[in-house]
Amino acid sequence: MRKELLKNIKRVVVKIGTSTLTNDNGSLNEPKIKQIVANLSKLNDDIDVVFVTSGAVGAGIGELKLDKKPKSITEKQALAAIGQVSLIHLYQILFWAYGKNIAQLLLTKDDFSDRKRYLNIKNVCNSLLSKKIIPIINENDPVVGDGIKGVKVGDNDTLSALVAGLVEADLLIILSDIDGLYDKNPSEFKDAKFINIVKKIDQNIKNMAGSEGSKFGTGGMKTKIIAADMATKGGTNLVIASGSNPQNIVNIVRGDEIGTLFLRQDKKLNSKKYWLGYGSAKSGAIIIDSGAENALKNGKSLLSVGIKDVKMEFERGAVVEILNQNSDLLARGISNYSSAEINQITGRKSDEIEEILGYKYDEEIVHIDNLALV
């Protein structure tokens, strides 16, 4: 079954969590990392590999011989800066032993939000992969303006899903201290059932996820389900599995029944819409009525007649969130009009726009080609 579902894998993103890379005290688990590198190198003999790594803060904890993670954002950022050096140095030595070249990319949310920077990263990654160089990616915590909980992507599960969409990966593997998805918390309920394959992520699947991470990590099953929802909509299969055995990396690609497989959606978002849905920065929001909501879900553009309200100020060409009247997020898209202009034509028909404004850019407020349902 798995072998058929995961055949013809040519490009894979592998994300390794902090709990897998570090010991209980937060120091780097070098024997485990050696095994991880060995398996990534073996994989790279035949297919493209992108490695999304956690562990910088944990490595910093180990370097300074701390017994726990500090609570101060500044201290965490300092630990990330210290730990990133030892982490990448170790990777360089280990990958070199297998004849592999690596490249480091430290990214922030702004790198994904800005379309030009996003495309630059995409081009750089594709160039590296064409040369069989393994990009090693982590979030650039020390330079994030509002701290680790500020303008971060959020966690490396979400980062790995963004990267999978960026490089158009066939498979995303997330390894951590979690075996996969259960219908309820297996540490609390003995009758918890393991879920082998998820064909579609619905509210029931989302409800199965908890929110607690491990001692040194930031992600739990909840962040992994969010990542799975993102990746599968972008056309990438995703497997959540235990990182206790690094051989799982190769075995998963080979098609072994390991972890939970989330199947990619047949109707995938193209690269631009994936960026709109998950990578772009949002400048404001447009509130729409039920008729416009149904139109969007049926593949139609957003027209002024279906708009009820506008939140925040934004210019023409800004990326905006589109919400229903219950404030549920429906989509994100590029607005053909500014917030001030939309306020004047809210609820009016498209053929009235020119009469009201004195000009008309487009019939649509947000064209379907520039809109991604989320």
Q: Tell me the domains of the chain and their CATH numbers.
A: 2-273 (3.40.1160.10), 282-373 (2.30.130.10)
Query: By percentage, how much of the chain surpasses pLDDT 70?
Result: 94
pLDDT value, residue 281 = 81
pLDDT digits 0-9 by tens, 147-178: 444 344 457 888 999 999 999 999 999 998 88
Compute the average pLDDT of residues 267-280: 87
DSSP string, 151-170: SS-SSHHHHHHHHHHHHT-S
**Closest listed residue to residue 295, CA positions, set 287, 285, 286, 306:** 306
- The whole-chain average pLDDT of the chain stands at 89
pLDDT at residue 145 is higher than 60: no
- The stretches of 45-72 forming alpha helices (DSSP H) are 56-63
268 vs 335, which has greater pLDDT? 335
pLDDT value, residue 215 = 39
pLDDT at residue 305 is higher than 70: yes
What tokens appear for 100 in the block? 């592999």
pLDDT at residue 129 is higher than 90: yes
pLDDT digits 0-9 by tens, 225-269: 999 999 999 999 999 999 999 999 999 999 999 999 999 998 888
313 vs 282, which has greater pLDDT? 313
pLDDT at residue 5 is higher than 80: yes
Residues 6+ apart with CB under 8 A from 244: 20, 177
Binding residues: 15, 54, 141, 156, 176-177, 218-224
pLDDT value, residue 109 = 80
pLDDT at residue 189 is higher than 90: no
Cα(17)–Cα(214) distance, rounded to whole angstroms?
10
Query: By percentage, how much of the chain surpasses pLDDT 90?
Result: 63
Binding residues for substrate: 54, 141, 156
Residues 6+ apart with CB under 8 A from 68: 26, 61, 215
pLDDT value, residue 51 = 98
Q: Tell me the residue type at 34.
A: K
- Among 118-132, 204-218, 305-319, which stretch is predicted with the lowest mean pLDDT? 204-218
Compute the average pLDDT of residues 348-366: 95
CB atoms within 10 A of CB 136: 21
pLDDT digits 0-9 by tens, 28-79: 889 999 999 999 999 999 999 999 998 888 788 888 888 777 878 888 888 8
Question: What burial letters (b/e) apply to 53-66, b meaning 16+ CB within 10 Å?
Answer: bbbbbbbbbbbeee
Q: Between β-strands 307-311 and 284-288, what pairing exists: parallel, antiparallel or unpaired? A: antiparallel
Cα(333)–Cα(373) distance, rounded to whole angstroms?
9
Cα(298)–Cα(160) distance, rounded to whole angstroms?
30
Cα(286)–Cα(284) distance, rounded to whole angstroms?
7
CA distances from residue 313 to 104, 341, 354 in whole angstroms, order as listed: 37, 10, 21
pLDDT at residue 131 is higher than 60: yes
Q: Tell me the residue type at 6.
A: L
Helix (H) or strand (E) holding 41: helix 30-44
pTM tops 0.75: yes
pLDDT at residue 346 is higher than 70: yes
pLDDT at residue 12 is higher than 70: yes
pLDDT band at 134 (very low <50, low <70, confident <90, very high): very high
Q: Tell me the residue type at 171.
A: L
pLDDT value, residue 108 = 83
Q: Are 57 and 64 in contact (CB under 8 A)?
A: no
Binding residues for ATP: 15, 176-177, 218-224
How far does CA 131 lie from the centroid of its chain? 25
